[in-house]
Amino acid sequence: MAQSNQIDNQSMVDEFLLMTFSDDRDMQILHFVIFLSTYFLAVIGNSLIVIAVALNHHLHTPMYFFLVNLSLIDTCIISTTVPKSMAISLTNNKRISFSGCVTQIFFVVTCVTAELAILTVMAYDRYVAICHPLQYRLIMSWDACAQMAAATWISSVMHAVLETGVTFRLCFCGSNLIEQFFCDIPQLQKISCTNTKVNEQLILILGLIVDSFMFIFIFVSYGYIFSTVLKIPSVQGRHKAFSTCTPHLAVFSLFIITAVFSYMRPKALSSPALDLISAVVYTVLPPVLNPIIYSLRNKDIQEGMCKIPQKIKNLIA
């Protein structure tokens, strides 16, 4: 009761302050330029993949359908976090409204969950293609692909609604400084003036159930894939099979490494500066590198991108 009265006597927070990378004006401008370049690189790279797949009929396969979904997710997550941070550096206005913070949390959780889910579906697609090639068209029909993609987005949105709802049921009546360049659930829990133990336990349980299932599914899928590929007698056949898996495996490894670095490192290694850097690694690096990885490792995507100008010219003509 005493805690309730104390909260009632304090004014509730109606906006938050986001952390900047530096208070020095020159460094703020440098941060703006770097983030602007990074943002354009990510958006252009992912957009080129979407356009290349859309304009080239030979890329209208389940693998590239899911790749388009991955590109859309990457564009969404970097568009949710980076533009606001750039605006702060340019204007030195650190404020973000309560509703703006809610929106950021919702989209970040949705995109992160969807990215892991779509990577899981892509692993299943490669498993069916390599381990059950004769049944591939039957199992990975367009109806099945559409249902898996829809399930990915719907479940991710539901997860985000739950996480966002639970987070903003907390009271924020003291400090409104978020030690991050975007609204982040762990940082919001730190500044809440109510007990966050239930929230932390719920996030931990959901993470263990959902993430563990997807991680195990991907690892098991690749276990079967490698076992099947190693049995292929032809060296050329093994190389071709591995080449279709390499980009996905590289993207998944990048996602896992950045996620572990961001959320599973010991608390002793945690500090505002390191938390800031790890968030950049987690939310900015994959959207930038994913299209580069697929462009460098996939000849079909390379050819599709090269044909974009001619395809657009033909459409206009």
Average pLDDT over every residue of 60-87: 93
Predicted confidence band at 7 (pLDDT cuts at 50, 70, 90)? very low
What is the pLDDT at residue 267?
Answer: 60
Q: What is the pLDDT of residues 216-239, one digit of tens each?
A: 888 898 889 888 888 888 888 777
- Asked if CATH classification 1.20.1070.10 holds for the domain at 12-316, the reply, yes or no, is yes
Cα first-last separation, the chain: 73
**Which string of b and e fits 229-250 if b means at least 16 CB within 10 Å?**
beeeeeeeeeeebbebbebbbb
Give the predicted TM-score (pTM) of the model. Answer: 0.87
Q: Would you place residue 11 in the very low, low, confident or very high pLDDT band (cuts 50, 70, 90)?
A: low
User: Is the per-residue pLDDT at 9 higher than 50?
Assistant: no
Query: Residue 248: its pLDDT value, please?
Result: 80
In whole angstroms, what is the distance from residue 9 CA to residue 298 CA? 61
Structure tokens at 226: 């490698």
Q: Residue 210 corresponds to which tokens in the numbers above?
A: 């959902």
> 260 pLDDT exceeds 70?
no
Radius of gyration of the chain (CA): 22
Name which of 240, 263, 266 is nearest 185 in CA terms.
Answer: 263
For residue range 53-64, list pLDDT tens digits in order: 999 888 899 999
